[in-house]
Chains A and B, each alone.
Chain A
Amino acid sequence: MGSAPGTEPVTASRHRLLDTGFSTRGRRNLGTVRGVSLPDDGLVVVVKQDCPTCRLVAPVLGDLAATVYSQDDPAFPAGVGVLDDTDLDASVALGIDVVPTLLRREHGVETQRAEGWDRDRWRELSGVADLGTDLPDWKPGCGSRTHDPEVADAMLVRTRGHELAARRVELAGLEDEAEALYDRGWTDGLPVVAPTPPRVLRMLAGTTRASDEVVAVVPPNLVPATVEKVAINAVLAGCRPEYLPVVLAAVEAACAEEFNAHGLLATTWGAGPAVLVHGPIARRIGVNAGGNALGQGTRANATIGRALQLVIRNVGGGRPGEVDRATLGQPGKVGLCFAEDEDASPWEPLSVSRGVPAGASAVTVFAAEGARGVVDQISRTPGSLARSLAAALRGVGHPKLAPGFDAVLVLPPEHVAVFAEAGWDRARFTAALDELLLIPPEELVRGAGGIEEGVPAPRRPHPKFRPGGLLVAVAGGGAGKFSTVIGGWVGGPGGSSPVTRLIEE
């Protein structure tokens, strides 16, 4: 390790996301690589000049009557006929992982293989009894140039580029990438990562779903979005490949009929789609559910919600000033994603209360306006704290409008502990809120409190939230008696309902 490129010790397995698949696939599919002519019978050796072991064995190659391929220098080794494999086609076709590799082919099929230098094995395989007498008994080989990071992108595109169906757009040599992508209208105003074919192929490695599978029909233009299109936008957003299953589930949820993404986009109200991640995938891919979960600084949080918004913009055609008619919008419309802290929560996960099997990973997409903090550093009893939170929740939309807008309440550890220590579970807490948020008609009626806004002619108490219109999640840092209210938009069939979908990995 740490030596020159190509001379690192060979590891048994490569990171999945960098593995282009040809080490095993090439061997299995031998003969299917187009334009590669391999000898049907005889010995084959694959070497590269950059490898000390290859240079060690170079003097004996003339004794083998083998076909010799060189991965990096057609003039190496001197003194034997060498086939130029700097394009690595033969190496891919032969499934070379290590150089030097000596192998025997019979009737077009590989029958034996030796990797690195092993004198006994090479003598046995070649049938040359006195081969390499002056060489050491054994010396391990180097990584095949097909695994060199310098050529990995090119190899990836050559082996799997045919899976990509999206139109290729050429950027001029003098164009600045960030400016070029902005100028084409593909960004939310912030710079994006250029969705080059290798990046998109690496992104697609994050899912087992086929790249041409349709994920959802995306409003407002009702365009079918394939896994590939979502992956391209995930690259733009800055996602890592392991985030892709979450983005795919979020796109599917946001395009569900009951979410009404078209209406949410078109309304002059400022809410946008937010993503709440449930289950073990959140911890595994690093979605922050702890300190600053709603803030900046965590890549998964910052990019997953952004990828969803870019899909709606680029695939669905939903752009501010066009179908997006928001009067003011809110900063989270660039993208808002966080996770429930299920490990720290004393309560049943929100996802389980919404019907997701315990232990499964899922997303809930909900309409979200800007997050607003609620201070209560004094309450130590569940009744007092519930009344505090209810008072803050009443302000969602307008304190005199009920029911109407949905909301998500995010409880931090120090607040949820007050309820848990008193024996309140999730159901008891939400039942208490429902009761506290039943608002008398005289407080709601238009004109009450000297405010013209309000309910036209309320005759009985109104619930602040429709059934299912208030979601409660636990997240946040260990210190701070501050909850957060995330107001939504008109809830239910006349507006948007939160949608939960399992994450398919």
Chain B
Amino acid sequence: MTFVLDPTDESRPASRTVGPRPDDLAGRTVGLLDISKPRGDVFLGRLETLLAERGVTVRRYAKPTFTRPMPADLRAEIAAECDVVIEALAD
């Protein structure tokens, strides 16, 4: 029998469940998150138009750079202000 030492952080990943998906967007606030890749704003701009036509409240957000993790404050801001978030990657 061999014993080895665990090379990992020994923690199980925090268990997270995806929030329930709303049936429709009526009366909800949708956050549009631009990660600051080229042309992500084009895609989100079109989405904003389409959502606005349906009477949905839209808020725009952008990460300072796509190369780094999102600032914790921005994540908290989106969570506090929106019911749904759509994140755009683009190039």
A interface residue numbers (CB < 8 A to B): 164, 166-173, 177, 181, 186, 194-197, 200, 220-221, 223, 228-229, 232-233, 236, 260, 262-263, 267, 310, 314-317, 490, 494-495
**Residue B10 lies at the interface, judged by CB distance under 8 Å to chain A:** yes
The residues of A that contact B7 with a CB separation of less than 8 Å are 166, 186, 195, 229, 232-233, 236, 310, 314-315
Could you tell me the distance between the alpha carbons of A171 and B5 in the complex, rounded to whole angstroms? 11
| Cβ distance A318 to chain B, nearest Cβ, rounded Å | 11
Given contacts A166-B7, A315-B8, 19 further A-B contacts (CB under 8 A): A164-B5, A169-B6, A170-B3, A177-B2, A195-B4, A196-B2, A197-B5, A223-B11, A228-B5, A229-B7, A233-B7, A260-B67, A310-B7, A314-B8, A315-B9, A316-B9, A317-B8, A494-B65, A495-B67
Size category of the binding interface on chain B = 10 to 19
Q: Is the CB of A490 within 8 A of B67?
A: yes
The residues of A that contact B5 with a CB separation of less than 8 Å are 164, 166-169, 195-197, 200, 228, 232
Mostly, the B contact residues are loop
Q: Is the CB of A167 within 8 A of B67?
A: no
**Residue B80 lies at the interface, judged by CB distance under 8 Å to chain A:** no
Q: Is the CB of B67 within 8 A of A494?
A: yes
The residues of B that contact A177 with a CB separation of less than 8 Å are 2
Q: Is the CB of A223 within 8 A of B9?
A: yes
Identify the interface centre among B13, B65, B67, B68: most chain A CB within 10 Å of its CB: B67
**Residue B22 lies at the interface, judged by CB distance under 8 Å to chain A:** no
A-B residue pair count with CB separations less than 8 angstroms: 76
The residues of A that contact B3 with a CB separation of less than 8 Å are 168-171, 196-197
**Residue B1 lies at the interface, judged by CB distance under 8 Å to chain A:** yes
Could you tell me the distance between the alpha carbons of A232 and B8 in the complex, rounded to whole angstroms? 9
**Which of B8, B9, B10, B68 sits near A263, CB closer than 8 Å?**
B68
The residues of A that contact B20 with a CB separation of less than 8 Å are none
Q: Is the CB of A166 within 8 A of B10?
A: yes
**Which of B1, B9, B68 sits near A262, CB closer than 8 Å?**
B68
| Cβ distance A237 to chain B, nearest Cβ, rounded Å | 10
Could you tell me the distance between the alpha carbons of A317 and B12 in the complex, rounded to whole angstroms? 11
The residues of A that contact B13 with a CB separation of less than 8 Å are 317
B window 69-88: CB within 8 A of A: 69
The residues of B that contact A169 with a CB separation of less than 8 Å are 3-6
The residues of A that contact B1 with a CB separation of less than 8 Å are 170-173
Q: Is the CB of B67 within 8 A of A196?
A: no
Closest A residue by C-beta to B69: A262
The residues of B that contact A267 with a CB separation of less than 8 Å are 67
Q: Is the CB of B68 within 8 A of A317?
A: no
Provided the pairs A262-B68, A495-B67 are in contact, do residues A317 and B9 lie with their beta carbons within 8 angstroms? yes
